[in-house]
C-alpha cells in the first residue's frame, strides 16, 4: 500500500513518516483480521465512477485505486488546472488514461446541474456504476476549533451545507436514471464522526439561521447525508426494478491528516496548536482514510446489503466496522425523522428552483 501524497503541511515530515509506519503496521494486523485490502478490489473494467473532491486527500486516493483497478473515473474539480494536475499525477503513477476531469464548483446548484448534464452525456452508453459524494469543506475560515464567520451559496444556502449536502443530494437525484442503467450500482456518501454535532431544525433546513459556518453546519451536513442515504435506500428498494439494485452506503474515514486540516487559519488562537497536535498524534495518512469508501464502492459481498455506515472507531482502528451514528437524532428520530428530512430537503431544492423534474414518483412526494 502506498503512502498518501497529500500530507498536511502542519505535520513535520519525520513525524508523518513515523505515523505512516505505525499505521501501516496496524493496517497489516487489521488486514489479517478482516481479510480485506485494496488488493481485493475486483477488476472494474467497464465500470464508471463519479467522484467529487478528488483533487486531494481521501478522494485522490480513492480515484487512484479505482483507476488502478481499471475503472473509468470521472473526477469533479472546481478548478480545471488543479484537477488536471491531480489527474496527471495518477496517470504518471501508472494509472493509465481512464481518469477524466469534470469541472464544477459544488457551491452553486447551477454548476451542479451543468455537471449532471455532462455526466449524462459521458455515461450515455455505459450508465453510472459508482458515485462517491466526497467533496466537503467547512465554510469560510471556520473550523470545529475556531469560528470563522457565516458564508452562503448563490442560492442562499449556508455554504457547508450547500457543498456537502445539497449539491450531493441534487447530484444523486439527478443521476438516478444513469445509476439505474448501471445497476447494480452504488452511492457512497462521505460523512464524519462530526455527525455528533449535528442539529436539525426544520425551520433552518437552508442553514441560513446558523451564525457561523463552522462545526454546526459541518456536523449537520454529515448526519443529514446519512439520514438522506438511509431513506433513499428504503425508497429505492420500495420502487423495485433496477432502482432496487442501487446500494447506498455512508462511510467515514476517521481522523485523517489531509489538506482539509490546512484550511484552518493557523495564525489564530490556541486552535493552531490544537490542530497541529491532533494531526501529529492521531491523524492517519490519506491512503488509510480512503479504505472505508473503497470498500463500500467495490466490495462484491456488499451487493444488496442495504444501507450501512462503515468506518473506524474513535481510536481510528477497525477501519471497515459497521457503525451506528452517535447523534441522538439518529437513535430517537428513527425512520420517520429521516423521511421528514428527505421530504424537507426536496422542498428546499424546489424552493430554490433546483429540483430535477424527472425523479420517479414514489421517491419524492
Ligand atoms: N480529514 C479528515 O479527518 C476527515 C474526517 C471526517 C470526514 N472527512 C471528510 O472527507 C471528505 C474528504 O476530505 P479530505 O480530508 O480528503 O480533505 P480535502 O483533501 O480537503 O478534500 C476535500 C475535497 O473537496 C473539494 N471541494 C471542497 N469544496 C468544493 C466545492 N465547492 N466544489 C468542488 N469541490 C470542492 C476540495 O476541492 P479543492 O481541491 O478545490 O479544494 C477537495 O478536493 C470530506 O467530505 C470531509 O468532510 C474528512
Who lines ligand 1 at CB under 6 A? 53, 55-59, 77-79, 82, 105-107, 134-137, 163, 190, 192, 252-253, 255-256, 258-260
Q: What is the C-alpha separation between 317 and 161, in angstroms, rounded?
A: 28
Which CATH superfamily, name and number, covers 13-351? Answer: NAD(P)-binding Rossmann-like Domain (3.40.50.720)
From the list 7, 42, 39, the residue with the least C-alpha distance to 23 is 7
Which residue in this structure is represented by grid cell 487512484? 64
* Distance from residue 319's CA to the centre of ligand 1 (Å): 19
- Each residue's pLDDT tens digit in the chain (365 positions)? 333 333 354 456 777 778 788 888 888 888 877 778 999 999 999 999 999 999 989 999 999 999 999 999 999 999 999 898 988 888 887 666 699 999 999 999 999 999 999 999 999 999 999 999 999 976 555 555 556 688 899 999 999 999 999 999 999 999 999 999 999 999 999 999 989 999 999 999 999 999 988 888 999 999 999 999 999 999 999 999 999 999 999 999 998 888 776 665 555 556 556 666 676 677 888 999 999 999 999 999 999 999 999 999 988 889 999 999 999 999 999 999 999 999 999 999 999 999 888 787 778 87
Torsion over CA of 138, 230, 255 and 65, rounded to 10 degrees?
-100
* Distance from residue 361's CA to the centre of ligand 1 (Å): 33
Q: What is the C-alpha separation between 203 and 47, in angstroms, rounded?
A: 41
Question: Cell for 270?
Answer: 490556541
Q: Whose CA is nearest to atom 47 of ligand 1?
A: 136
Is 165 designated active site?
no
Q: What is the C-alpha separation between 221 and 165, in angstroms, rounded?
A: 5
The answer to whether residues 350 and 220 touch, using CB atoms and an 8 Å cutoff, is no
Q: What is the C-alpha separation between 323 and 228, in angstroms, rounded?
A: 16
* Distance from residue 153's CA to the centre of ligand 1 (Å): 17
Which residue ranges make up each domain of the chain? 13-351
User: Residue 194 CA: which ligand 1 atom is closest?
Assistant: 6
Contacts of 181 (CB under 8 A, 6+ apart): 123, 126, 127, 128, 242
Q: Whose CA is nearest to atom 20 of ligand 1?
A: 260
User: Residue 55 CA: which ligand 1 atom is closest?
Assistant: 43
Give the model confidence (pLDDT) of 22-52 as tens digits: 888 888 888 877 778 999 999 999 999 999 9
Q: Which of 165, 166, 218, 309 is catalytic?
A: 218
> Phi/psi of residue 158, each to 5°?
-55, 140
* Distance from residue 362's CA to the centre of ligand 1 (Å): 32
Q: pTM of the predicted model, to two decimals?
A: 0.93
Amino acid at each position: 500500500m502506498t503512502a498518501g501524497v497529500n500530507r498536511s503541511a502542519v505535520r513535520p515530515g519525520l513525524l508523518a513518516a513515523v505515523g505512516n509506519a505505525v499505521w501501516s503496521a496496524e493496517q497489516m494486523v487489521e488486514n489479517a483480521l478482516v481479510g480485506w485490502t485494496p488488493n481485493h478490489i475486483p477488476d472494474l473494467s467497464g465500470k464508471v465512477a463519479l467522484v467529487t473532491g478528488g483533487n486531494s486527500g481521501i478522494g485522490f486516493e480513492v480515484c487512484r485505486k479505482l483507476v488502478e483497478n481499471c475503472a473509468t473515473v470521472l473526477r469533479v474539480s472546481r478548478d480545471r488546472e488543479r484537477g488536471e494536475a491531480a489527474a496527471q499525477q495518477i496517470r504518471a503513477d501508472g494509472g493509465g488514461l481512464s481518469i477524466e476531469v469534470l469541472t464544477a464548483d459544488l457551491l452553486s446548484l447551477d454548476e451542479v446541474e451543468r455537471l449532471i448534464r455532462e455526466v449524462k452525456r459521458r455515461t450515455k452508453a455505459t450508465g453510472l456504476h459508482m458515485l462517491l459524494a466526497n467533496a466537503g469543506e467547512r465554510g469560510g475560515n471556520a473550523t470545529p476549533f475556531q469560528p470563522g464567520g457565516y458564508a452562503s451559496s448563490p442560492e442562499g444556502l449556508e455554504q457547508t451545507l450547500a457543498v456537502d449536502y445539497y449539491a450531493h443530494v441534487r447530484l444523486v437525484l439527478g443521476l438516478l436514471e444513469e445509476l439505474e442503467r448501471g445497476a447494480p450500482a452504488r452511492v457512497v456518501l462521505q460523512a464524519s464522526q462530526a455527525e455528533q454535532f449535528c442539529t436539525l431544525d426544520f425551520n433552518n433546513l437552508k442553514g441560513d439561521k446558523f451564525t457561523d459556518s463552522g462545526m454546526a453546519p459541518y456536523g449537520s451536513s454529515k448526519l443529514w447525508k446519512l439520514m438522506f442515504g438511509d431513506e433513499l435506500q428504503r425508497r429505492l428498494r420500495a420502487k423495485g426494478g433496477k432502482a432496487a439494485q442501487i446500494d447506498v452506503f455512508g462511510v467515514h474515514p476517521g481522523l485523517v491528516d489531509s489538506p482539509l486540516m490546512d484550511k484552518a487559519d493557523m495564525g489564530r488562537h490556541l486552535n493552531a496548536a490544537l490542530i497541529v497536535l491532533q494531526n501529529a498524534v492521531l491523524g492517519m495518512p490519506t491512503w488509510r482514510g480512503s479504505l472505508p469508501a473503497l470498500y463500500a464502492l467495490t466490495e462484491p459481498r456488499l451487493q444488496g446489503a442495504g444501507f450501512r455506515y462503515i468506518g473506524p472507531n474513535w481510536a481510528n482502528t477497525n477501519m471497515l466496522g459497521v457503525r451506528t451514528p452517535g447523534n441522538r437524532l439518529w437513535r430517537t428520530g428513527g425512520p420517520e425523522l429521516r423521511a421528514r428530512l428527505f421530504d424537507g430537503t426536496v422542498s428546499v431544492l424546489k424552493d430554490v428552483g433546483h429540483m430535477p423534474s424527472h425523479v420517479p414518483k414514489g421517491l419524492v412526494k
